[in-house]
Structure 1
Amino acid sequence: MHDDFVANLRLLCGYYPSIAEVCRRLEMNRAQFNRYLNGRYRPRHAAMQRICAFFGVEEHELGLPHEDFRRLVQTGKGPVVAAGFGWPDELLQRGRHGMARYLGRYFEYYHSMSRPGHLIRTLVCLEERGNGIVYQRTERMQTPASPRPCHNRYMGVAVKLADRLFLTDYETLNGHEVTQTILFPSFQSQVTRLSGLKLGVADNSERMPCCVRVLYERLDEQVGVRQALMQCGLIALDAPGLDAELLEAVRNDMVPGEVHFRARH
């Protein structure tokens, strides 16, 4: 089983330009990661969770016999190459055109579907993998009743079609939710903010289908994943640092005469 884990981890690393690139994105020491690749050590719980979250796999999948794991990856039936949930390759290839400038990390803002009166800030990481553009969206939820943060992780695929960005993802822990986000592209020289609409369900017992305006804010490359995650969670509407432009972009209102809930450019 240990040999299978090593072979499976090496296979996943093969989707990236180098081991150094994997370690940089994982924010993990290269020497430490090499010990896992060489089979000298098995990752402890915290390190294992980071590795699984980064590659989009479950821990038990990394322990599968290597040929089973390879088939899982290559057929696209596992979370690693869910790079399209079975979407046609032609669509993925067309949809990745022009997406290079959007790769990176973003804070996502929208009015919480389960906690009215609050915004929620999540972390979205878009990257190129295999034959398409995939992303991970991570929620960090903390309430007075549950002071210890819990995380929800979503894996998805992003395509750019006819001047719109389409992002579709699924919740990986329980498999109880699929969300879709449609964003306007940026025509500025530097991508800073993207706006659009998000469709999902409230994360509570009501599970009410909701549509909200959403804003993506590009993060500086120097901001690490852990540092960004610490800033995620529920935010009061009057919290410092929320500028008027951001609040206006995510305000869920309709003007007289509108018969559809529309995105705000």
Structure 2
Amino acid sequence: MRQYFPSNLKHLCSHYRSISDVCNRLKIHRGQFNRYLAGTSFPTSFNQKRICDFFGVEAHEIALPTDQFLQLISSRTPRPTLAMITAPQRAVEHLRQCSSSRLQDLVGHYHEYAYSISHQGRILCSLVSVKELDGHIVYERVEPSASRSNGSDRTSCYRYEGVAYYLGDRLFLIDYESLATSEINQTILIPSFKTRNARLNGLKMGVTACDHRVPVCSRVVWSSLGTKACGPEAFRKVREYRDDDQELDSDLKARLAKAQIIDGLFRII
């Protein structure tokens, strides 16, 4: 079946500006690629997969007789290929593929506690919902606005949307404010291997809401609420607290306090 590979590959390359352009995109040496086109060499399994992924075809398809192959691809609805994906999209897909399957354990609802970026000495409680969507682990974070935190009856909130990855035994989360899209936040959490992520410790970085937009970093704790839909009680707790508020238990306060600057680095201790 390899006899048809060169002609089918030539046809796929004809849709691009030049053979050199294809080689540059594939990161395959031009001389080696020319041997594929001439039929004097056949790609390794690794390179064959790269070529097929790039053009959006399967390995068994590119080995079909050329007339069948041309009929197949001419009748097929175009689908995204690596050649059509931008560099940022490739980076996201790479991170998704490298992310540990343990990330599934993060799915559920959480209260996020962190020192308020905008109000000194206050602890902010947000509601985070993590789910799987289109093969990615994504989340929404609902954070109370200043008006609600100050005791007003208004219940307006900021909403953040983000994506999560599990790399090297750490959880990496990045989100943006979905309305104004004026900020990006990053959170790194340390997963628990003893329990099902009852409480997760970590650090969170963002910017203040004031005009100065000062970059800041805070200790953060995620407290699990389970996987079932959240009720009114979960939303009631979404507000700002004084750091001595009795509603905050001693374990939570201790976790938020375990950080200090060591050798110029803000670390969890």
Normalising TM by the smaller chain, what interval? Answer: 0.5 to 0.7
**Mean CA deviation greater in 208-217 or 134-143:** 134-143
- Residue from 192, 197, 206 that aligns with 2:212: 206
Aligned equivalent of 1:20: none
Q: Residue 86 and residue 157 in structure 1: after superposition, are their counterparts in 2 closer, same or farther (change >3 A)?
A: farther
CA drift at 1:208: 1.4
Q: Are 1:260 and 2:260 an aligned pair?
A: no
- 8 A Cα contact 2:198 2:224, kept in partner: yes
- How far 1:206 sits from its partner (Å)? 3.0
The DSSP-based 3-state class of the residue aligned with 2:260 is coil
Quote how far apart the aligned CAs of 1:124 are.
Answer: 0.7
Distance in 2 between residues matched to 1:93 and 1:133, nearest whole Å: 12
TM alignment of 1:145-224, pairs within 5 A: 146-222=152-228, 224=230
What residue in structure 2 maps to residue 229 of structure 1? 235
Q: Matched residues in 2 for 1:88 and 1:222: separation? A: 29
Q: With the length of structure 1 as denominator, give the TM-score of the two structures.
A: 0.62
Residue 238 (structure 1) aligned to one of 240, 244, 268: 244
**What letter corresponds to residue 247 of structure 2 in structure 1?**
G
Evaluate the alpha carbon distance shift between residue 86 and residue 227 of structure 1 in structure 2; reply closer, same or farther with a 3 A threshold.
farther
1:105-160 Cα shifts (integer Å, max 9, x gaps):
00000110101111000011111111210000111221448541221000000000
CA distance in 2 between partners of 1:85 and 1:111 (Å): 33
How far does residue 253 in structure 1 lie from its aligned partner after superposition? 4.8
Query: Aligned with 1:262: secondary structure?
Result: strand
Task: Report the residue type matching 2:266 in the other structure.
Answer: F
> Paired residue for 2:132, among 128, 131, 139?
128
Indicate the residue corresponding to 1:69 in structure 2. Answer: none
- Total equivalences in the alignment: 182
The one-letter amino acid paired with 1:109 is Y
Name the one with the larger helix percent: 2
Q: Structure 1 residues 262 and 229 mapped into 2: Cα distance closer, same or farther (>3 Å)?
A: same
Whole-Å Cα distance in 1 between the matches of residues 108 and 266 of structure 2?
A: 29
Contact 1:93 / 1:132 at 8 angstroms: preserved in 2?
no
Q: SS in structure 2 opposite 1:88?
A: helix
User: Greater Rg, structure 1 or structure 2?
Assistant: 2
Name stretches of at least 5 consecutive residues in structure 2 with no aligned partner: 1-79, 82-87
Read off the aligned partner of 1:193 and give its amino acid letter: R
The correspondence for 2:255, drawn from 224, 249, 252, is 249
* TM-aligned CA distance change 1:149 to 1:204, over 3 Å: farther
**Structure 1 gap segments, 5+ residues each:** 1-73, 76-83
Give the C-alpha shift of residue 103 in structure 1. Answer: 0.8
Contact 1:196/1:213 (8 A) holds in 2: yes
Matched ranges for 1:137-152 at <5 A? 137-141=141-145, 142-144=148-150, 146-152=152-158
Q: What secondary structure, in the 3-state scheme, does the structure 2 residue paired with 1:250 have?
A: helix
- Residues 1:114 and 2:110 are matched in the alignment: no
8 Å CA contact retained: 1:96, 1:132 = no
Q: Aligned AA for 2:184?
A: V
Residue 89 of structure 1 and its aligned partner are, at CA, apart by 1.7
How far apart are the structure 1 equivalents of 2:180 and 2:89? 17
**1:94 is matched by which residue type in structure 2?**
C
